[in-house]
Amino acid sequence: MRIIVADHYEELCKLSANIVKKHVQEKKDAVLGLATGSTPVGLYKQLISDYQSGEIDFSKVTTFNLDEYAGLSPSHPQSYNHFMHEYLFQHINMQPGHIHIPQGDNPQLEAECKVYEDLIRRAGGIDIQILGIGANGHIGFNEPGSDFEDRTRIVKLSESTIQANARFFGGDPVLVPRLAISMGIQTILEFSRHIVLLASGEEKADAIQKMAEGPVTTDVPASILQKHHLVTVIADQKAAQKLKIETYS
């Protein structure tokens, strides 16, 4: 695991965008795994700006998002589908058919999970998977206790995640769906050739320390990333402040 400590959030965004940009410049039909949450918003902003200045072309790129709330239609303002269009897709030249996000309102949710997993496999896996991290160490919506062998599946959100994500639902936790579809940990580990995890702010400091320096345990789902062959963590100083080993760049 390579850990880069960025001076501030803007640098984190720039560094992560450069990784994506360089890869897409070299491989026009790259497959990107994308994440939601506040953290990657600045990365997407930078990618939009790189697209506008002609440095990156998304016309052949394929994307797979990590997760989606169960029960929300793609057009629901709080759905991750809506989020991705608002913060990225509507501003760049992605082909709509190349965008993949689990369909949260599919009445056949189990089948949706299986189809999603198959789509990633048929795309040949993911070149760069962007991840955020929950304050409780979750990745995607793989909450503490999730099995490391899990594939794309229906998950139950933890109370702390419901509280943390209530800010996107007008601050009312009652409005946050209790279930979601998420790529499983095994899906992420097996299909991603390079994982880029982003973390910003002191509320992520414990999770980052446990992820990078703690034991590999299902109590901290992100700790399994210690076992992946190519992980780049980009954390700003606040998120990195509890790391003990001082050899990070």
- Measured from the CB atom, the residue of 62 and 200 that comes closer to ligand GLP is 200
225 counts as binding ligand GLP under rule CB under 6 A: no
Q: Which of 140, 177, 184, 221 binds ligand GLP (CB under 6 A)?
A: 140
- Considering the candidates 23, 50, 65, 67, report the single residue annotated as catalytic: 67
136 flagged as catalytic: yes
Give the C-alpha separation, 220 to 62, whole Å: 30
Cα torsion through 34, 40, 41, 47, rounded to 10:
-70
Q: What are the residues whose beta carbons fall under 8 Å from the beta carbon of 243, sequence distance 6 or more? A: 3, 5, 208, 209, 212, 213, 235
Instruction: Determine whether 8 is an active site residue.
Output: no
Those residues whose C-beta lies under 8 Å from the C-beta of residue 41, and which sit 6 or more positions away, are 87
Pick from 132, 177, 184, 221 the residue near ligand GLP by CB under 6 A. 132
Within 10 angstroms of residue 246's Cβ, the number of other Cβ atoms is: 5
Contact stretch for ligand GLP (CB under 6 A) within 37-45, 87-95, 112-120, 148-156? 37-45
Min dist CB 54 to ligand GLP, Å, is: 29
Residue choice 13, 23, 24, 39 for contact with ligand GLP (CB under 6 A): 39
Q: In the numeric block, which tokens belong to residue 186? A: 């095994």
Query: Is 50 among the catalytic positions?
Result: no
Which one of the listed residues 68, 112, 117, 143 is annotated catalytic? 143
Tell me, yes or no, if 85 is annotated catalytic.
no
Amino acid (1-letter code) at residue 36: T
- Contact indicator for 19, 230 with CB cutoff of 8 Å: no
Catalytically active residues, by annotation: 67, 136, 138, 143
Positions in the binding site for ligand GLP (CB under 6 A): 35-39, 66-67, 132-134, 140-141, 161, 165
